[in-house]
Structure 1
């Protein structure tokens, strides 16, 4: 193991790709205080306005537009903040219009959550939405905590059908992270996999660091490709300090850790 006290990667700044700012600017100030207390140097954050009690549900178009506009306005005042918008796939054409509107205002990330927004990832409306996001140059962030059996498989199938869209699957499947080792084989099949899947390891990395399954987790990160792994906190549930500390305890090289901390996110988001 590489000691946190001597690891060169520990000096690298961090791009937090998974932040919930449920109360807007007030939540941002609380987040920034938490970052300062942790001693982490922040390179940027991808922040969404919804999550927890504030879910973007089917038919709530006015609420969705208001929330999206609020996070865009906050990002205009905070250069480190990358705004994350949402829509509900079941709103059909209205969701596509809203996606086009926010993309026109510079939003580069769409977040949708099958379980909290109560939609089926296999629904054709979801495929239509994520393809449209890709056409707008947006990356699609989706929950992958594997709450129900088959979640990872559904997300993989979705990504295969939308090869021109880049996806970030949050939490890398949680305790089902082993499934994603199959990407090493998918890459060997001609004209099958577009290599368009990225992962944030928020929450899961905190659970597996120093655990009996840590070697399997590190093996998985290398199989999915270190260049496709991102770091997130899932704030306010967990702070970025815990994520960084857990990453430093993984048996990865300093170069690999530096990519996960911020290098991969900067490249993906063009920062």
Structure 2
């Protein structure tokens, strides 16, 4: 089986040089039979949009979403250039790290612009302690998606321990999708992985994508551990193929 990873980062802790970081990731993707992976550019990493753009052209298995701050007065301009000239294929937003709420007017405006560019928007939706203290609220994610009906959203990490709330909201929002990165393995030993598989099943294994959140673990370690969890809760081979490959390939029209 071939695979696609919808949620990875470059390892800036281990590799000061972006080309070295990308080379390590690309080789791990090759070794684990991954056809493609989406690298999520982050403004907090010391690598420019231009440097990330070169990674996209230099490494055949790497695609990328650009991280733009919604309150930047030039946000729409930066996003448009990234998509039309710098080879990015989506927008990455991180409410906790970038310190905004998903339903703020500037966020809605930028996400509507992403819709006009026909690109998806991935939002971090993992409520760690910091996020909770910042006012993490599933309804803010829903309000954003509802305000941008022509924009496709990926709620990353399936909302963590709020997965059932996020699932119920997604059932009313056809433009919302999930990736299961990080949460599926972070919460092992609790009821959350079972709840995540329940949510996948309730959504007929549609609109849900595999992600590793590399470099949290190696590409192969995350894949093997995730398959173990899916097997534990009775996910069959056809359903796994959709999660691990088919759904995201169709979503991106690759």
Q: Same fold (TM over 0.5)?
A: yes
What interval of TM-score do these two structures reach, taking the shorter chain for normalisation? 0.7 to 0.9
Measured in 2, the distance between the counterparts of 1:132 and 1:160 equals 15
Q: Distance in 1 between matches of 2:203 and 2:222?
A: 19
* Aligned-pair CA distance for 1:245: 2.0
Q: Which residue of 1 aligns with 2:217?
A: 238
Q: Structure 1 pair 153/239, CA: closer, same or farther in 2 (3 Å)?
A: farther
Go from structure 1 to structure 2 and tell me whether the alpha carbon gap of 1:109 and 1:263 turns closer, same or farther (over 3 Å shift).
same
Displacement, 1:34? 4.2
Number of matched residues? 239
Partner of 2:45: 54
Q: Quick one: structure 1 residues 184 and 84, their matched pair in 2 at CA, closer, same or farther if it must change by over 3 Å? A: closer
Gaps of 5+ in 1: 1-11, 56-65, 187-192
2:140 is equivalent to residue 154 of structure 1: yes
CA distance in 2, matches of 1:199, 1:185: 12
CA distance in 1, matches of 2:152, 2:58: 27
Q: Which runs of 5+ in 2 are unaligned?
A: none
TM-score normalised per structure 2: 0.85
Give CA-to-partner distance per residue, 1:54-112, whole Å, 9 cap, x none. 28xxxxxxxxxx722222221112222112112110013x1111111122124221101
Query: Do the aligned residues in 2 keep the contact of 1:142 with 1:167 (CA within 8 Å)?
Result: yes
Q: Which of the numbers 213, 228, 249 marks the counterpart of 1:266?
A: 249
* Residue 41 of structure 1, CA deviation: 0.8
Residue 24 of structure 1, aligned match among 10, 18, 26: 18
Answering whether residue 161 of structure 2 is matched by residue 180 of structure 1, we say no
Structure 1: distance between partners of 2:84 and 2:65: 13
Structure-1-length-normalised TM-score: 0.80
